[in-house]
């Protein structure tokens, strides 16, 4: 009798828990928060850099996302989730902070009063933010796609929350800095504001390696995925 190989997909025996869903929401939040926070400060950035910065950044951001996604189609599957999250988070956190620093030091009413230079450097930061977003979001949804649909839903919930929290947080920081008598309120507000999302973003690196990938359900899912890649 000819033996037939069983190609059925093995399902993990562990279950999805609330903590895993919360981690999925955090991944979704981080994927969109840096860009949404930039949009919340777009009026301030436009005033610093001039040259229609506010109208130009979506073009550069969208181009970066498309270019990164095309690259990921060709080379993304050669890497496991851990390094993809590492690179996505590192790029997002670094260039989010750098954008705030550029706006604080180069441009109108700054130490280096050169809006053109600030405009160029700002576009570079935004372009790389788009690149980091593409890597991060594709990794988050790719990971969630290996799990039940509840994981995908909570990634999207996290992305939705990223769109809601930016403006209230910016207004709170503005009020707190104004009440404290801080000079250059707009500059410090933007820097602190972007520091918040960068801090949350960089936390993903140890969270995925030490918590998410160690979760019983996710550990089985990642093992199955590794076995498929070898076969």
CATH number for 100: 1.20.1250.20
13, part of any domain: no
Residue 213 neighbours by CB under 8 Å, 6+ apart: 81, 82, 219, 222
pLDDT value of position 231: 56
pLDDT value of position 14: 74
Mean pLDDT, residues 169-179 taken together: 96
Rounded Cα distance between 135 and 144, Å, is: 14
- Is residue 180 within 8 A of residue 192, CB to CB? The reply is no
What pTM value is reported for the model?
0.88
pLDDT digits (tens, 9 = 90+) for 15-32: 899 999 999 999 999 999
Q: Which residues pair with 106 in a beta bridge?
A: 112
124, part of any domain: yes
75, part of any domain: yes
Rounded Cα distance between 151 and 38, Å, is: 27
Confidence of residue 9 (pLDDT cuts 50, 70, 90): very low
192, part of any domain: yes
pLDDT value of position 42: 95
134, part of any domain: yes
Mean pLDDT, residues 125-154 taken together: 94
Q: Which residues pair with 112 in a beta bridge?
A: 106
Percent of the chain with pLDDT over 70: 91
159, part of any domain: yes
- Is residue 143 within 8 A of residue 77, CB to CB? The reply is no
- Domain range holding 86? 28-230
Mean pLDDT, residues 183-191 taken together: 96
Q: Of the ranges 59-63, 138-142, 212-216, which is most confident?
A: 59-63
Here the tokens at position 101 are 């620093």
pLDDT value of position 46: 96
From 37-51, 89-103, 143-157, 213-227, the region with the lowest mean pLDDT: 213-227
Confidence of residue 5 (pLDDT cuts 50, 70, 90): very low
Here the tokens at position 230 are 């070898």
Return the exposure string of 164-173: e unless at least 16 CB atoms fall within 10 Å of the residue's CB, then b: ebbeebbeeb
Rounded Cα distance between 170 and 189, Å, is: 7
**Number of domains, the chain:** 1
Residue 173 neighbours by CB under 8 Å, 6+ apart: 189, 192, 193
Mean pLDDT, residues 115-130 taken together: 97
pLDDT digits (tens, 9 = 90+) for 140-167: 999 999 899 999 999 999 999 999 999 9
pLDDT value of position 11: 59
Residue 22 neighbours by CB under 8 Å, 6+ apart: 154
122, part of any domain: yes
pLDDT value of position 220: 86
pLDDT value of position 12: 60
Confidence of residue 8 (pLDDT cuts 50, 70, 90): very low
CB < 8 Å & 24+ apart, contacts of 206-211: 207/23, 207/26, 208/81, 208/82, 208/85, 209/82, 211/23
Q: How far is CA 196 from CA 17, 93, 204, 214, in A?
A: 27, 10, 13, 26
* 222 three-class SS: helix
Rounded Cα distance between 220 and 12, Å, is: 6
Count the neighbouring beta carbons within 10 Å of the beta carbon of residue 142: 15
66, part of any domain: yes
């Amino acid at each position: 009798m000819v033996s037939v190989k069983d190609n059925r997909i093995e399902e993990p025996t562990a279950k999805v828990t609330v903590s895993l869903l919360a981690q999925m929401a955090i991944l979704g939040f981080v994927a969109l928060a840096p860009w949404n926070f930039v949009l919340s400060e777009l009026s301030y950035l436009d005033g610093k850099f001039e040259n229609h910065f506010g109208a130009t950044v979506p073009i550069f951001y969208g181009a970066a996302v498309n270019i990164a996604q095309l690259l990921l189609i060709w080379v993304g599957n050669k890497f496991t989730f851990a390094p993809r999250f590492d690179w996505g988070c590192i790029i997002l956190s670094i260039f989010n902070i750098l954008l705030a620093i550029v706006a604080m030091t180069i441009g109108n009413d700054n130490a280096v009063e050169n809006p053109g230079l600030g405009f160029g450097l700002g576009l570079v930061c935004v372009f790389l933010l788009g690149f980091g977003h593409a890597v991060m979001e594709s990794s988050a949804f790719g990971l969630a796609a290996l799990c039940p649909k509840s994981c995908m839903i909570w990634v999207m919930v996290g992305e939705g929350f990223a769109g809601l929290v930016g403006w209230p947080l910016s207004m709170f920081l503005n009020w707190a800095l104004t009440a404290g008598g801080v000079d250059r309120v707009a500059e410090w507000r933007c820097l602190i504001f972007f520091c918040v999302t960068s801090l949350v973003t960089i936390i993903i690196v140890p969270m995925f390696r030490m918590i998410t990938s160690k979760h019983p359900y996710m550990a089985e899912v990642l093992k199955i995925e590794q076995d498929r890649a070898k076969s």
